[in-house]
Structure 1
Amino acid sequence: MNSSTVSEQKQPAAHTPRNFTLVLVICFILLGLCVIASLALGSRVTSFRELMDGLFHPDVQSFGANVVRKRISRTVFSLMCGAALGVSGALMQSVTRNPIADPSILGVNTGAALFVVCGIAFLNISSASQYIWLALAGAALTAVFVFGIGSMGRGGATPIKLVLAGAATSAALSSLVTAIMIPRSYVMDKFRFWQVGSVGSGSWDNISTFLPFLIAGMLIAVLTAPALNALALGDDVATGLGVKTGFLRFISAFAGVVLCGATTALAGPIGFIGLLATHVIRLILGPDLRFVIPMSAIAGAIILTVADVIGRLLGSPGELEVGVVTAFIGAPILILLAMRSKVRSL
């Protein structure tokens, strides 16, 4: 299925949501406020003057201005990771037709973390580009394994079976990560942030390494969104509309794995962003993935950046890793969603 075929599919939702423009404006305002907060707040709160000096006056070398400059790469990295996880969650929910699918819930990011830890411990890898390729392999294999386990038995891959398979797989893989790291202090010291996830590793080198994977995953997600709308009507209807359902699931899942795996390789297994972002956008704009996918990117960027700022404020003078904050917020929401009767399918 090429891009022209995808773009020609009939859409279940043919019109732009009436409140889309308003939501888009509000999201961009919130995004701007999040960026300002990320640059200004932390263990060292900067003044407005220091913020302006750090952004627009490179000749000013005050301590506050330098703090702002150091936070720029972290903020950009946080926005990119949040966008990637938001879109990855939207894709996984659509492909599995599971409204509570998320890279963390399905164990995908834990599989990515395991492969990278194995590479560090046994292959002596040390560069971000190597981390990403190992993370992609681990994420892909874990996704296939979880979906295969969840598809066994009567009823196929139901939402509850996938969640249970993902939770069990994630627990097992987390134990393996711990078993590999404990006797190897150099691995634990260097990558202990993976236990919870952190955007503190944000640097321009990591951003440049991450960027091609982010662009590729986002592009595939946007191009497949119309066909995923057709898939939401059921395989038979989608096939009648000319959608190659098998290839569509493969390429969409591939994009989700790329986004999740690359993020995990550089930031660790940050959970619940895809779940939170996608549900908020669906609640406001409806199910049309032509709008859900790009808006989930913005919502994911906002949520992760806010969580990072909260972690820095709560953990001052150190910081509370962003993975702890997102888990604290996301776990109760997951429980509420799992209790709803509508969780059976999208």
Structure 2
Amino acid sequence: MLDQLSMSTARPSRAMLLQDRRTFETFRVWQVGTIGGRGYDAVAICMPFFIAGIVLALLSVRALDAYALGEDLAAGLGRKVWLDRTVIAAGAVLLAATATALAGPIAFVGLAVPHMVRRIIPARHATLLPLCFGFGAVLTLAADVVGRVIWPPTEIQVGVMTGVLCCPVLVLLLLRGRRM
């Protein structure tokens, strides 16, 4: 029953997308992710949420260090588990939502980058988080540039390129079977 409802809801949406070529192209590009074509107005709308997410993430570094030892030990150190989880989750949700609103669903960056950075530096979150932010941005930009120049005049979307670049890292992590 639920699948029939979803299909009947999807049909009119698909028909509207196919009628207008520009709308379809915008949807297709957003569906795989892109960092091009956004104006300052979209960035300005998302900026307060981005700043709030960054502030919450940076306020969470001590809690993240404590939870790296285990939840029971963190609680024994005086951490308020419910409050810490709420602040950490709110920061992560704000940052992920802002990135998705601006660029679409760009795959694997948030999963692979922390593991890449953690291999380079110690696991203190006060240094790990800012480096992950920077390295994630550089990796996304590099994937976009490679996607634009690899097969001219066509362009491979950044979401596809980040999948190509980050997927081997995640596969290696799975094959090693250990936490980094």
TM (norm. structure 1) is: 0.46
Aligned residue number for residue 248 of structure 1: 84
- List aligned pairs for 1:120-139, cutoff 5 A: none
1:220–1:251 CA contact under 8 A, matched in 2: yes
Q: In the TM superposition, what is the alpha-carbon distance from 1:315 to its structure 2 partner?
A: 4.1
Aligned residue number for residue 73 of structure 2: 237
Alpha-carbon distance in structure 2 between the residues aligned to 1:249 and 1:286: 23
1:201–1:267 CA contact under 8 A, matched in 2: no
Selected match of 1:184 from 16, 32, 35: 16
Alpha-carbon distance in structure 1 between the residues aligned to 2:88 and 2:24: 34
Amino acid across the alignment from 2:64: L
Selected match of 1:270 from 103, 106, 109: 106
2:106–2:162 CA contact under 8 A, matched in 1: yes
1:197–1:323 CA contact under 8 A, matched in 2: yes
Alpha-carbon distance in structure 2 between the residues aligned to 1:330 and 1:247: 32
Amino acid across the alignment from 1:289: H
Alpha-carbon distance in structure 1 between the residues aligned to 2:74 and 2:128: 19
Higher RCO by CA contacts (8 Å cutoff, separation 6 or greater)? 1
Alpha-carbon distance in structure 2 between the residues aligned to 1:194 and 1:251: 29
Alpha-carbon distance in structure 1 between the residues aligned to 2:15 and 2:92: 33
Q: In the TM superposition, what is the alpha-carbon distance from 1:299 to its structure 2 partner?
A: 0.5
Alpha-carbon distance in structure 2 between the residues aligned to 1:337 and 1:285: 17
Cα displacement string for residues 299-333 of structure 1 (whole angstroms, at most 9, x for unaligned residues)? 01110111111111124324211001001112222
TM (norm. structure 2) is: 0.85
Cα displacement string for residues 105-144 of structure 1 (whole angstroms, at most 9, x for unaligned residues)? xxxxxxxxxxxxxxxxxxxxxxxxxxxxxxxxxxxxxxxx
Secondary structure of the residue that 1:182 maps to in structure 2?
Answer: helix
Greater shift in the superposed pair: 254-263 or 334-343: 334-343
Secondary structure of the residue that 1:251 maps to in structure 2?
Answer: helix
Aligned residue number for residue 342 of structure 1: 178
Alpha-carbon distance in structure 1 between the residues aligned to 2:91 and 2:152: 37
Alpha-carbon distance in structure 2 between the residues aligned to 1:298 and 1:191: 28
Aligned residue number for residue 40 of structure 2: 204
Amino acid across the alignment from 2:95: L
Aligned residue number for residue 93 of structure 2: 257
Alpha-carbon distance in structure 2 between the residues aligned to 1:278 and 1:339: 17
For structure 2, the residue ranges without an aligned partner over 5 or more in a row are none
The number of residue pairs the alignment matches comes to 170
Amino acid across the alignment from 1:324: V
Aligned residue number for residue 311 of structure 1: 147
2:32–2:159 CA contact under 8 A, matched in 1: yes
Cα displacement string for residues 193-239 of structure 1 (whole angstroms, at most 9, x for unaligned residues)? 12211112321112212221111111111111111100111112111
Secondary structure of the residue that 1:246 maps to in structure 2?
Answer: helix
2:32–2:160 CA contact under 8 A, matched in 1: yes
For structure 1, the residue ranges without an aligned partner over 5 or more in a row are 1-171
Amino acid across the alignment from 1:256: A
Alpha-carbon distance in structure 1 between the residues aligned to 2:49 and 2:107: 19
Selected match of 1:321 from 157, 164, 178: 157
Q: In the TM superposition, what is the alpha-carbon distance from 1:289 to its structure 2 partner?
A: 0.7
Cα displacement string for residues 134-168 of structure 1 (whole angstroms, at most 9, x for unaligned residues)? xxxxxxxxxxxxxxxxxxxxxxxxxxxxxxxxxxx
Alpha-carbon distance in structure 1 between the residues aligned to 2:156 and 2:144: 8
Percent identity (aligned) = 38
Alpha-carbon distance in structure 2 between the residues aligned to 1:281 and 1:311: 23
| Cα RMSD for the two superposed structures | 2.3
Selected match of 1:293 from 113, 116, 129: 129
Cα displacement string for residues 36-91 of structure 1 (whole angstroms, at most 9, x for unaligned residues)? xxxxxxxxxxxxxxxxxxxxxxxxxxxxxxxxxxxxxxxxxxxxxxxxxxxxxxxx
Alpha-carbon distance in structure 2 between the residues aligned to 1:266 and 1:298: 17
